[in-house]
Structure 1
């Protein structure tokens, strides 16, 4: 016996809706700033392998905000007979797409940079005429790296504040990448300076550092995205700990005075949770339809992220949940 919540296009709490609007606005600002950053870096990158790698990373930086905007838009669609759980998985799919792009390009750039290092490729940086004066292009490259590092770092910190409350891992991944962009800029700057000092290998070495950072971000996010799609236990947005709401759900179900023991199986649908609550009543007759409905309503009231809930009576908890349930 069980009851189920009707999954419709429910409004978000005002505070969450406000944070979501802020996140959408930040992602649009990110895209606009990236247009200028990509153009500026392309204009001054010359023959530097490090600058080329930094430019490609800037191009890849378009993927997470675009994936976030598309994913959020799709999740707003109401559930249908064909999609009874709604479209919340769009966030997870967006996460996989963004992470895969980072892994593929990061791997390619590492190989490309290693080839440049092994083949003893000596990059050259010439001069450019500005206002009748010849200026070494390397100075412009380094200035561009400093200037282009500032907007992503600021935007990343703002996104990091919003991601946990929204429980949006695409936004968190984008914010984490933005926040670390100063390392890319520093690596490229060191590579260009190395060329100026005659250290031809510094450029390729800096490119390898940048490419390794891209690959590491990609692997970390791909692992987390795939885990979500195969219904792994929900975690916090940084994927380090079990989500705290899991404990609250189990504690609520076990607090019901007609329940002997209980546990829940929770799916992370991308930004919201689907909860399957299993309760062992004592005695069985106490599990009336009214009490099951009240338990379902109580689950839905715990947190806005619980968008769908099922409460079922069972004679014994499923084995996978029994191991984590407290002993009676």
Structure 2
């Protein structure tokens, strides 16, 4: 659990806020692994023949993937640049994100089919009684207690991780936090399924299991889309993937404030944590930028945010059409 040396991602030195966020995120992921170990054991001992409990148990097993992927990815991303990896190891974050997403999607699809088959076959899951301290207790109450235990912890941990994911621009951590924050729905749904069995509604268990499966599939598909988009160099987006990252616009605006720059159009590649920026700038008529001008422009871009890592400034006669913000606005 040591965070010694966690001061940079590749050659990018982390500001104090990000250092603290990284240290806290690592600690929280170890806490998550410890908690989920107990949760998996508790649900396994309590699940009986309930399909909803079985599906919730598998979802708890899947919850190990994002924290493990995060711990491995952030460790690899901190390795220094070398001749074989001139861009560094930042893509480890994207690889970890994609691996976790594919696991979610595949397992969710399997569980959906398995649960649907139980519904089609009209399987009636029995919920017997268990003896606790010499008293006969309906096993459904034990299942419900187990789901309350497994539902509260992840929600708290997820809410604690969310601001850290934003501070670090870490999509693996964000996906982990987002899924955990919503885990109360799985717990609540499973409780409904178990109560349905107790009321004689045998189909409620399978229906809830299918709903949980589709929740897993949705999480998997959303994360596959975002992870694969980053790996094929789509435009840099915010950590949750909902919109283009504002740094692209901010870089162009900052460069256009430089005296010799007439217009700027940038393409920003999300490497995982950090961005690689290529800025195409049109100088004012009669000005030919020298090395000093270009170096200063790159420094202006880097000063905007710690995530702006590699910056290339290229003087051009006109902005490439796909990067021309003004032309797109008019269109």
Q: Provide, for residues 67-114 of structure 1, a one-character-per-residue CA deviation record: whole Å limited to 9, x for no partner.
A: 111110010011111110000011011110000000000111100000
Tell me by how many angstroms 1:322 deviates: 2.5
Match of 2:85 in 1: 83
Change (3 A) 1:139 1:314: same
Deviation at 1:285, TM superposition (A): 4.2
Q: 1:208 maps to which residue?
A: 210
Pairwise CA distance, 1:11:
2.1
**Which aligned pairs between 1:216-235 and structure 2 lie closer than 5 A?**
216-235=218-237
For 1:133 and 1:323, locate their aligned partners in 2 and report how far apart those are by CA, in whole Å: 72
The residue that corresponds to 1:106 in the other structure is: 108
Structure 1: distance between partners of 2:286 and 2:164: 44
Q: Distance in 1 between matches of 2:91 and 2:34?
A: 27
**TM superposition shift of 1:178:** 0.3
Q: 1:259–1:282: 8 Å Cα contact kept in structure 2?
A: yes
Contact 1:254 1:263 in 2 (8 A): no
Counterpart secondary structure, 1:241: coil
Is residue 2:189 matched to residue 1:187?
Answer: yes
Question: Which residue of structure 2 lines up, in the alignment, with residue 174 of structure 1?
Answer: 176
User: Does structure 2 conserve the Cα–Cα contact (< 8 Å) formed by 1:50 and 1:203?
Assistant: yes
Q: Name the residue aligned to 2:322.
A: 320
Q: Name the SS of the counterpart of 1:40 in structure 2.
A: helix
The answer as to whether partners of 1:253 and 1:263 remain within 8 angstroms in 2 is no
CA distance in 2, matches of 1:256, 1:284: 15
What residue number does 1:127 align with?
129
Does the residue aligned with 1:142 lie in a helix, a strand or coil? helix
* Partners of 1:235 and 1:243 within 8 A in 2: yes
Distance in 2 between residues matched to 1:125 and 1:276, nearest whole Å: 62
Unaligned 5+ runs, structure 1 = 1-6
Give the TM-score taking structure 2 as reference length: 0.94
1:304 is matched with which residue? 306
CA drift of 1:324 comes to: 4.4
- The alpha-carbon distance between structure 1 residues 221 and 324, as it changes in their structure 2 partners (threshold 3 A), is farther
> How do 1:204-283 and structure 2 match up within 5 A?
204-283=206-285
For this pair of structures, how many residues does the alignment match?
A: 321
Give the C-alpha shift of residue 235 in structure 1: 1.2
1:58: which partner in 2?
Answer: 60
User: Is the 2:94–2:231 contact (alpha carbons within 8 Å) kept by the matching residues of 1?
Assistant: yes
2-structure distance, mates of 1:303, 1:137: 55
Partner of 1:302, secondary structure, is coil
